[in-house]
Structure 1
Amino acid sequence: MRSHRSEIGERWFVVAAVGVICVATLTGCVVKPNLGQIDGTVTAASGLPATGCGITMVVISGGPVPELAAVTSAAGTFSWPVPPGRYEVTASCDGVPIHASVDVVADETVAVDMAE
């Protein structure tokens, strides 16, 4: 016959084990992956910033891109957080595509200069 004290000890062990598993599972769901970032500048043939250009990205290797598209600012710049990997970035300004291949590393920013 088991004592009342050993049953209480077993119950506390089970409760503690379940608690550890729950915390580990929830932490895994909340932790964000380490992203890198692409900071780009698009310049028009005139040398001025290319504003309002559509920016798209094709994943060559790496994780899915969290956004589908971006647009250059009035300064001709864009900033895009992405998972580590290799990407083909395309800027479409006035129907003329400009391409650049970019390798992104976690927790680092890659600068991309694109010119018409």
Structure 2
Amino acid sequence: MKLFARSIATVSAGLVALTFLSACAQSSSSEVDGVVVDAAGSPLSRCAIEVVVVDAPPYPEISQVTGEDGEFSWTLPDGLYDIVAHCGGEPGRERVQVPSESELRITVQQ
């Protein structure tokens, strides 16, 4: 009887894993492009960009840094996110629904 119960538990765990993997494989992702600017509209380089999941699958990458042109690009699973820019002053924050057709513009107060 113990062997039967162990077999059922193993099969159940396998089904749960397959369901999870199937759900992950079916979710799509899209690229989110943006630029971080100051109050005057000038691009800001070397700002930390953080993705905060609002309503989406968990996302493992924590942050990245803007380029010299203030731009960033991130591939995210479809869902709702807050994109936060940290540049030394008050952080800028924009909410985005992925997929998105427009480029984000995050203004940071320095």
Q: TM-score, normalised by structure 2?
A: 0.68
Following superposition of structure 1 onto structure 2, how do residues 74-89 of structure 1 map, counting pairs within 5 Å?
74-89=68-83
Q: CA RMSD in A?
A: 2.5
Give the whole-Å Cα distance in 2 for the aligned partners of 1:110 and 1:68.
Answer: 22
The answer for unaligned runs of 5 or more in structure 2 is 1-17
Correspondence for 1:90 among 81, 84, 88 = 84
Residue 32 (structure 2) aligned to one of 18, 29, 38: 38
| 4+ runs deviating over 3 angstroms | none
Is structure 2 residue 98 aligned with structure 1 residue 104? yes
**Percentage of matched positions with identical amino acids:** 33
- Bigger-Rg structure (1/2): 1
Give the drift of 1:64: 1.7
- 1:115 paired with 2:107, answer yes
Q: How many residue pairs get matched?
A: 89
Structure 2 CA distance for aligned equivalents of residues 86 and 110 of structure 1: 14
Question: 1:33 offset after TM fit, Å?
Answer: 4.5
TM-superposed deviation, 1:66: 3.7
User: Which AA in structure 2 matches 1:111?
Assistant: E
TM-score (norm 1): 0.65
> 1:72 Cα shift?
0.5
* 1:83-112 Cα distance to aligned partner (Å, 9 max, x none): 00000110011132001000002xx65410
Q: Is the 8 A contact 2:46 2:65 kept in 1?
A: yes
Question: What's the CA shift string for 1:27-86, capped at 9, x where partnerless?
Answer: x6xx68521121010112343210000110110111122411011000000001110000
Q: State the SS of the aligned residue for 1:113.
A: strand
